[in-house]
Structure 1
Amino acid sequence: MSALPPLAWLQAFEAAARTLSFTAAGQELGVTQAAISQRVRLLEDRLGQKLFVRHPRSLSLTPAGQSWLPSLQDGFTRLAEGTREVFGETDEAPVTLRTTPVVQQNWLAPRLGAFRREYPEVALRLVSAIWPDDFGPEGADIEIRYGQGRWSGMEAVSLGSDTMLPVCAPALAERITRPADLAEHTLLHAVGFEVGWPTWLEAAGVPALASRRAPLICDTQTMTLSLAALGEGIALTHRRLVEHRDDLVAALDWEVESDEAFWLVRPARAPARPEAALLWEWLKRRLAMGRS
């Protein structure tokens, strides 16, 4: 072959081969079972050979997969060792915290100033993740993830239960007094959340709301909140994400509980660097003090 397959495909195969489970591999790498299956299938297509025998409830390696796995694992080990030899240990590297843009802007930003004043010597690097596949143990010391808190190989601390409520610009809220009034406004949808507008409308007693405006669907909650603040519609969001904003108010005081929540997450298998441990413990203290 003229070029190696993409690293994500190789990581998917190595994790699935080691655990003999696409589901476990997905949990380890922070992606879905379907994403692992797709990457392995693409890898098999690239190599021209099957790597797994797919049984109804299990996996096993083909002879080709068994033969290739040790070489691949050895390659990952040598790559890590070579990186350390050339660039040294990463103890002085910035502490990397990865989360979604909406959490960065609406939850993290109001709190970082206090941490910086308390620990001015700690360098921080913030990294954005938009889709679930963007998350994973590689490349980040700490993450703030959204979900149910079940990630294999990860230590997770809940930021607390949360509710979803409709928000909009203050001027727009003055024209909304009951759920049926939402039919006159654009509903702003953010994909990827278990609790969305259908769930909220059913809880509010208007499951068959006949909206006179076409919905607007965005791939990030940051965009729905920006549009809502501009008066372009009603966004459904978590209360904690708008607690520090004065350009958005509750359109209706009607909240819906969600089984999903925000979690402070870090890899459990390796000791944290001192600087990363400082940030982790500081964030945990803030949660314990009720400043979530």
Structure 2
Amino acid sequence: MYNDLPPLPWLRAFDASARLGNFTLAAKELGLTPSAVSYQVRGLEAQLGHQLFHREHRVLTLTRLGQAYLPIVTRAFADLDATTSNLFGKTAGDEVCLRCLSSLNLLWLVPRLDVYRRRHPDSRLRVLSASWSEMAAGEEIDIDIRFGDGTWVDGEVVPLMHDAIIAVCAPERLTDGTLQELAEGPLIELAGVVDTWQHFFASHEVTTPITAPSLKVDQSLIALELASRRHGTALVAETLAQPYLDSGKLVRATDLSLPARQGHYLVLPTARNSRRPEVETMVLWLLAEAAAGPQAPITHATEGPPVTGGPW
């Protein structure tokens, strides 16, 4: 039985090397030497009869077969870990560590955590903030909320929100002017995103010259604060703008919007057990909150029994 199953240490060496990108980091995680990890991976490749990594300048990249094999190996270890914990009580702790971009954290997640904690009073959460430059997956992160196109390969990727991009300004700046007048600025734009003012005006067939943004920032929260202080009109995701719209600090500069080409995703790192009950509960709650839409009242999630079960 299981005659074709490679030795588990070889599979662990493959899993760690694929996640961490080189044998040195994998060796540190496994308590081995880099040469021992390399030997085990080569043994696995020899048994399988196929190369799993491209090795270039001490950097490992998965081959096509390696990419196909990794999720299977990772899921097998995760299932074994979860079953061991459930049967024998050797849990890794019930704390859930969630990391989120700072603007989404403050404007969307934090206002809703009261709802979650009322429904799950025994929950233990560790909430971290991240910026654009800090989005590489960490070993202790259970749920990583990222913004982009969803093409990450270091974990299970689950779509969360993909809402419209809207233009907002302080009430004092609102006019009955045309889009051409709006294009004259001043404009506030987020750096590092694909949905820009140029795309906004082009999608609505504005052909007059467009003023270059007078301010570029790296976080939606900063753009919204600048707009509320009458520095210009900001182009941001509707979900993030909603608290400012609800408070009256900002209004929509136009009813027109731009369909987003990027969105927010949950990334469940392969290094962690995403099927732990407390992680699954948090994931399902996040998905339910996002599905309600940006204009839903925050208290909506208190209605009805807690959401349980899966898959998501």
* Superposition TM-score tier, normalisation by shorter sequence: 0.5 to 0.7
Q: 1:256 to 1:290 in 2, by over 3 A?
A: closer
**1:90-143 C-alpha deviation (Å, 9 max, x unpaired):** 515x42211111101222123211101111221222211111543314231112
Provide TM-score, normalisation by structure 1.
0.64
TM norm structure 2: 0.61
Equivalent residue for 1:165?
Answer: 166
1:278 has 2:277 as partner: no
Q: Structure 1 residues 176, 12: closer, same or farther in 2, change over 3 A?
A: farther
Query: Which residue among 266, 269, 274 is the counterpart of 2:268?
Result: 266
Answer yes or no: is the 8 Å Cα contact 2:220–2:240 preserved in 1: no
Residue 29 of structure 1: aligned partner: none
The answer to whether the 8 Å contact 2:21/2:59 transfers is no
Q: Provide closer, same or farther for how the CA distance between residues 65 and 255 of structure 1 changes in structure 2, counting only shifts above 3 A.
A: closer
Measured in 2, the distance between the counterparts of 1:219 and 1:65 equals 30
Q: Which residue of 1 aligns with 2:228?
A: 229
CA RMSD of aligned residues (A): 3.1
Say whether the 8 Å CA contact 2:141–2:272 is kept in structure 1.
no
Q: Which amino acid counterpart does residue 127 of structure 1 have in structure 2?
A: L
**Structure 1 residues 60 and 207, CA gap change in structure 2 (3 angstroms):** farther
SS of residue paired to 2:265: strand
Distance (Å, rounded) in 2 between the aligned partners of 1:289 and 1:222:
22
Percent identity between the aligned chains? 28
2:135–2:146 CA contact under 8 A, matched in 1 = no
Structure 1: distance between partners of 2:140 and 2:222:
26
Aligned-partner Cα distance in 1 for 2:54–2:238: 43
Q: Show the counterpart of 1:141.
A: 142
Distance in 2 separating the partners of 1:281 and 1:163: 23
In structure 2, do the counterparts of structure 1 residues 270 and 130 end up closer, same or farther at CA, with 3 Å as the change threshold?
Answer: closer
How many residue pairs match? The answer is: 218
195-204 or 130-139, which moves further after superposition? 130-139
Cα deviation code 1:159-196 (max 9, x no counterpart): 243221111112212x2532112245321111111111
Counterparts of 1:1-292 in structure 2 under 5 Å?
A: 15-17=20-22, 59-61=54-56, 90-92=92-94, 94-173=95-174, 175-211=175-211, 215-245=214-244, 246=247, 247-268=249-270, 270-272=272-274, 273-288=276-291
Pairwise CA distance, 1:258:
2.1
TM-superposed CA distance for 1:271, in Å, is: 2.2
Structure 1 residue 220: Cα displacement: 1.7
